[in-house]
Amino acid sequence: MLELENRSVPELVSEIERLSEEIQELYCLDRIPWVLGVSWGKDSSCILQLIWNAIAQLPVEQRTKPIHVITTDTLVENPIVSVWVNRSIEQLKTAAQQQQMPIQAHLLYPELKERFWPNLIGKGYPAPRMRFRWCTERLKINPANRFIRNAVHTCGEVILVLGMRKAESNKRATVMEKHEKGRVRDRLSPRPSLINSLVYTPIEDWRTDEVWMYLMQFKNPWGGNNQDLFTLYRGATADNECPLVVDTSTPSCGDSRFGCWVCTLVSKDKSMEAMIQNDEDKEWLQPLLDIRNELDIHDDRDKRDFRRIYGKVELFERKSKEDKEVTEVVPIPGPYTKFWREHWLRRVLEAQVQIRQTAPLDMQDITLITDEELGEIRRIWLEEKHEFDDSLPRIYEEVMGKTFQDNRIQEKKLLGGDEWSILEEICSDDAMHLELMAKLLDTERQHATKSRRGVFENLEKCFDSSSRSKEEAIAIAHEKRDLKEAASQGNVDKVKQLTWAQMKFKNDEDD
């Protein structure tokens, strides 16, 4: 870990005074608006408080340039932290108006198609891993970058203020020092991923104890309670809060203290575990921790399709589990199967019911999965997965005890649960036959209500992805791989042999 110079208390006070003057000078230097990324943890609260206090010292007539405070809500945040964030934002809005501060708070959300549950339960994306970290960009980077790009489009450029510190990690220090080399103005660094944006990091050289010293010794100017923030941290582990993420060089929530309750990018959710262990009033969080741990298993191949999400078998090399000296070629597992997608839906809804019964009164309106997200999951299952049994409303009613209201799906259904049951009986235990028949029937249904253009191409896609058994599809993928390898090696005899075998298989299929 990078070691920074130890400053005495008088030296830190002098640094705060110097920094206040720097903030005022940068603020008054031009008309470029500021965008302040805030997660409401210690570091971002520190820079927000520093900037607020500095700007408050300026005459009201000089406080003309807007300072946009943006916070991204992934909609799967730790509920305790989520309540803290929402309360802080409301306090900020009220205080800014009362004190005539040019600060505007914005709570950002991911677009519906990019949210966690429509991707995991709807499309079947597996729980995130470091090699498939599909969540960070969708849930955190994109909402923040959309706001910043809109601000650039409106104003020409922006200054992005972040609570990044070199002391957080050696990796963070390396990234920050790299950006420093490209500075075009004093203390302002360009960000390649965000055109016309300059980054300002006021507390980049602060130690963690200095951040807490400032928060504890200087009064919160918007009416928040920094002691409550400290208590929130004390109730869990000693890492950093989830930072505002604007590009992939910023550590994800998985490396930080308060992140998403579903996060599987770390081995354990130590913060939630500590909350439950240290405070019996937070034991109601246990259902969330149980779901997170159930998602976080090392080998989930039995829960996933043998094909990628677009229906093709892809292979990769790995060390054999039995003999590490042996390399084996196996299919890359794809999305969760229908059974497991329905399982995760049921688990989340059950947790929501349980939490609303056991949480404190001020937390009993918590929503783990929104109706809008449920509607999108239903649409994906019906339109993209061709699962016309339409199981979501049934599962919802069984768990929630009420009818699922969804105005998005209004067409009269020609196929439903009864037809699906009949199809399951006809296909017996042949899962691929069931999938093919369902896709063919539903593709025909979809084209019956719109232009027939493209119907034959879409029916052909159904056969391409679902007409072969698992064993046949994997065998063909191996043959294609062997053919490509033989061609690259110039092995003519093997190319002829494999080509003839594939042609014979194709003719047998056609017959």
Distance CA 357, CA 364 (A): 7
Whose CA is closest to 446, among 408, 406, 415? 415
pLDDT at 239: 42
pTM of the model: 0.85
Q: Which amino acid is at 441?
A: L
pLDDT at residue 252 is higher than 50: no
146-158 exposure pattern, b = at least 16 Cβ within 10 A, e = fewer: ebbeebbeeeeeb
Confidence of residue 243 (pLDDT cuts 50, 70, 90): very low
Chain segment 53-109, per-residue pLDDT in tens: 999 999 999 999 999 999 999 999 989 889 889 999 999 999 999 999 999 999 999
pLDDT at 410: 61
Distance CA 244, CA 253 (A): 9
pLDDT at 7: 80
Chain segment 92-151, per-residue pLDDT in tens: 999 999 999 999 999 999 999 999 999 999 999 999 998 889 999 999 999 999 999 999
* Torsion sign, CA atoms 52, 55, 56, 60: negative
R_g of the chain, CA atoms, integer Å: 27
pLDDT at 504: 59
Q: Is 195 exposed, middle or buried (0-12, 13-18, 19+ CB in 10 A)?
A: exposed
105 DSSP β-pair partners: 69
pLDDT at 248: 47
pLDDT at 472: 87
> How much is the mean pLDDT over the chain?
84
Query: Locate tokens 């205080």: which residue?
Result: 95
Comparing 229 with 341, the larger pLDDT belongs to: 341
Distance CA 392, CA 383 (A): 13
Mean pLDDT of 406-430: 79
Q: Which of 19-23, 259-263, 336-340, 366-370 has the lowest mean pLDDT?
A: 259-263
pLDDT at residue 416 is higher than 90: no
Distance CA 186, CA 164 (A): 17
Chain segment 157-200, per-residue pLDDT in tens: 999 999 888 766 555 556 555 555 555 566 788 877 778 889 99
Contacts with 44 (C-beta within 8 Å, 6 or more apart), sequence order:
36, 37, 38, 162, 163, 241, 243, 244
pLDDT at 241: 47
Supply 68's token pair: 């946009």
204, 166 contact by CB (below 8 A): yes
pLDDT at 160: 93
Residue-level length of the chain = 511
Comparing 459 with 147, the larger pLDDT belongs to: 147
